Amino acid sequence: MFYKPTWWKEAVGYQIYLKSFKDSNNDGIGDLNGIREKLPYLKDLGITLIWICPFYKSPMDDNGYDVADFFDIDPSFGTLDDMKLLIKDAHKLGIRIIADFVMNHTSDEHAWFIESRKSKDNPYRDYYIWADGKIVDGVETPPTNWASFFGGSCWKKDILTNQYYMKIFSNKMPDLNYKNPKVRHEMMNVATFWLDLGIDGFRIDAVAHLGRKDELIDSTMDTLGKYKPDWRMFSNLPVIFDYLREFKENVFDKYDIVTIGEVGGGATPEEALRYSNLEAGSLNMVFNFDHCWSNNVWDLNKKEQVVVDLVNLKKNFRKWQYGLYGKAWTPIYWLNHDHPRLISQYGDPNNIYLSGSMLGSSLYFMWGTPFVYQGEEIGMTNYPFRTIDDFNDVQDKNNYYLNDIENSPNKDEYIYLMGIKSRDNARTIMSWDSSKYAGFSNVKPWFNILPNHKEYNVKKALEDEKSIYKHYREIFKLRANPKYKDTLIYGSYKQLLPRHKDVYAYVRIGNKKILTVSNFFNKDVNVSIRGYKVKKVLLSNYDNPNKALTNLTLRPYETITYLVE
């Protein structure tokens, strides 16, 4: 075995968007006690690690990623005592918990920022990034032409001191200044507080953006629009690794934890290795997004069907599986709280069980630590957005109003296209049963319930003879099986048929060989896989799967995992 065994390499993760998971006190908002109530459900699925989205005190401009107090729980989610009970009960069931560590920014209602904006010589001024505007053709403009991820400029003018603060996300989320050692010390105290409370690690939000170009110069990117989406100006810069090394040496190394960075900004495997390589990386692994958009959703200009580009998807899988294996560790996941729903993105809303189970086997037998996103295991789909009032996401609303879509003749088309890509799809209410409020609460929830929750919900998934939930459970049982663990967790990955437009096939190689082959489309596909002999079928989403790899006919969305030699 190449890798040293550790608990987080063998874990099966599950991401919880707290606000939408389960409401225990009937106020319409998911909470910590709601998670505690559903721990047996997660245990039964095979989950051993929970990642909880931000639960800190927050004005909720971006649903908790705008933190007003890192040392307390938002009252809508519960209390510190509730968190202690959740950790205790989860640990009893063999489930560890990691928190979302929001390092890049705070809320503008955080005490540090309230002080920082009072005057240019305030002791907290340098906790954030402030700069003067510039005069262009007699008009004041922001310090640079860099765009924000949420639309518009990444700078916001503050009238108290007539300077601009940097905010690469929302106006209400000013960026922290990591050049300031006091900021790094404060945030190390935050990490230590939660680890001492019993948290088992962190998913570090927006870790790629902790550094900024030293010179505040305009981007020369050749794109339309006043503000340039030139993420290189504040993504994956060398200074980040100095900051993270400081966190590792002073905090992370003192605990038996896992640390996972969110690395956006167009990171490559080579850049990811700077974060997480086995020898000198400051993090255990990083999330990347290359495989999340291997379809045509960004190119649609009318109500066309979303189509998977399987060759591109396989290319992205190869890039990261080959690029990191033996050098680092990796998480494997289909989506998180910032992406459309899996069935709508890569599956088939008219064939939810078959396409959903196929997608599960296609990914979760690969190399890496699985992370299931809440509702994925029951086939939750995108929401049918019809008006801007159906949306909650600050990013979508910003873009809608900045582009004056309300008065556009193409408003309906814009709403449709925004809807199929929207982060809000992942944030709809978890479908627990077929009741009025989907078993989430006894009162109307804070956000949308899927119209198809009566047909696709947890209660039905547990009752049905075949369901995505039960298929996922079998995947995770096989990963944990001592017979196959060396191969499915620690073994290498070899992709087969890389240019085939309909079929994804790969083999895992350890002390055994395990081959998975999947038909990504709603049609019969004939394929031949040579060089392997079937010993046993381990899992399929159809009855009576074919045991011959040569001249193999795969039925619509069929997936088969074989023990081979």
Instruction: Give the whole-angstrom CA distance, residue 173 versus residue 163.
Output: 16
In angstroms, the CA 353 to CA 467 distance is 6
**How many residues are given for the chain?**
565
**DSSP letter for each residue of 158-173:** ETTTTEEEE-SS-TT-
Q: What is the DSSP letter of 10?
A: S
DSSP sequence for 99-125: EEEE-SB--TTSHHHHHHTT-TT-TTG
The closest of 549, 495, 499, 553 to 310, measured between CA atoms, is 499
396 included as an active-site residue: no
Of these residues, 205, 377, 424, 474, which one is catalytic?
A: 205
Active site residue 262: yes
Question: Residue 98's Cα: distance from chain center in Å?
Answer: 14
In this structure, the strands spanning 285-287 and 258-262 are parallel
* Pairwise CA distance, residues 405 & 215, whole Å: 35
Active-site residue, from 262, 377, 396, 502: 262
Provide the 3-class DSSP secondary structure of residue 308.
Answer: strand
Q: In what order do the strands lie in the sheet with 130-131?
A: 130-131, 163-166, 155-158
Distance between CA atoms of residues 25 and 324, nearest Å: 44
Which one, of 2, 10, 94, lies nearest residue 369 by Cα? Answer: 10
Q: Catalytic residue numbers?
A: 205, 262
